[in-house]
Amino acid sequence: MSELHHQLRSLVTEQRNPRSAHIDTASIPEILRVINQEDRCIAEAVGKEIPYIAQAVQLVVDTFKGGGRLFYVGAGTSGRLGILDASECPPTFGTPSSQVQGIIAGGREAVFRSQEGAEDMETGGVEALQAHGVAPRDIVCGIAASRRTPYVVGAMRFARAMGCKTLFVTCNPRGSFSIPVDVAICVVVGPEVIMGSTRMKSGTAQKLVLNMITTAAMVRMGKVYENMMVDLHMSAQKLVERSRRTVMIVTGLRYDAAAKALDAAGGHVKTALVMILAKVCLEEARRRLEQTGGFVRQAIA
């Protein structure tokens, strides 16, 4: 037997799930109930890893404050999830597109069509980080449900050797995790409904974790006021209307007045809120936001 065969035999994510053994003879509603029942364990499994996710968030915040970037590295579903989370940060939090980036084995084509063989080369992950100009002040997060993906493992070794902070998100137990990283997040969701199909429970768990990391980090970077996005880029009509609605909710202004206030603030929600609530001019609002690191509450006070 091959070494890979032995590795797969030992992985939780590659085991058979006794609760779905009958799924091939089940009715459609029964199939869906089995999937739904298995999905119910995901949030609880993620919750158990919050202490480690919190450590990861703090490292990401420290990296951003130091001018560094967050890179996700993965293959297949894991790689696509990293790209998804990275691509949603700019419209949601007004970040530059370079601040959070996703790297996937096989490159851009792999986002849309599976490139399975690309994950087997450790050097591929190294070359991808080099191509993106990863530097010691950056942080690199490996994503691999199995924890063993060579492309990801190679990238993590290279990043650590460079002096980057490193994170790893996997769905196998901590006791079997041996890759040297600063923080490992091990969300054990158990065997998949379909054996080895880690796009299911494992993929959902990874999506939740990545959302938590970037959302919590952006909150700590002053990108949120109360529970509202206030660093929006008004690049689409939906975001224009969301910006106006946010100003209306926070300040009590009517629609036309909120639109006018945003225009006066250069279309920037944060600046508009500080101008209105602190009763200051555009220049003073900008000065306060710069002085407080972009936190609206502090700028108003």
Identify whether the C-beta of residue 25 lies closer than 8 Å to the C-beta of residue 34. no
Beta bridge partners of 166: 140
Identify whether the C-beta of residue 110 lies closer than 8 Å to the C-beta of residue 49. no
Q: How many CB atoms lie within 10 A of CB 132?
A: 16
CA 13/CA 195 separation, integer angstroms: 8
SS3 call for 22: coil
Report residue 208 as tokens: 């939740």
CA 239/CA 53 separation, integer angstroms: 29
CA 109/CA 33 separation, integer angstroms: 34
Catalytic residue selected from 14, 38, 44, 88: 88
Sign of CA dihedral 169, 173, 178, 182: positive
Catalytic residue selected from 38, 49, 119, 192: 119
88 among known catalytic residues: yes
Question: Distances from the Cα of 90 to the Cαs of 85, 234, 296, in angstroms?
Answer: 10, 11, 19
DSSP string, 118-129: GGG-HHHHHHHH
CA 132/CA 119 separation, integer angstroms: 18
For 103, phi then psi, to 5°, come to -120, 130
Report residue 149 as tokens: 């993906």
119 among known catalytic residues: yes
* 272 Cβ contact list (under 8 Å, min separation 6): 247, 258, 261, 262, 264, 265
Which residues are part of the catalytic machinery? 88, 119
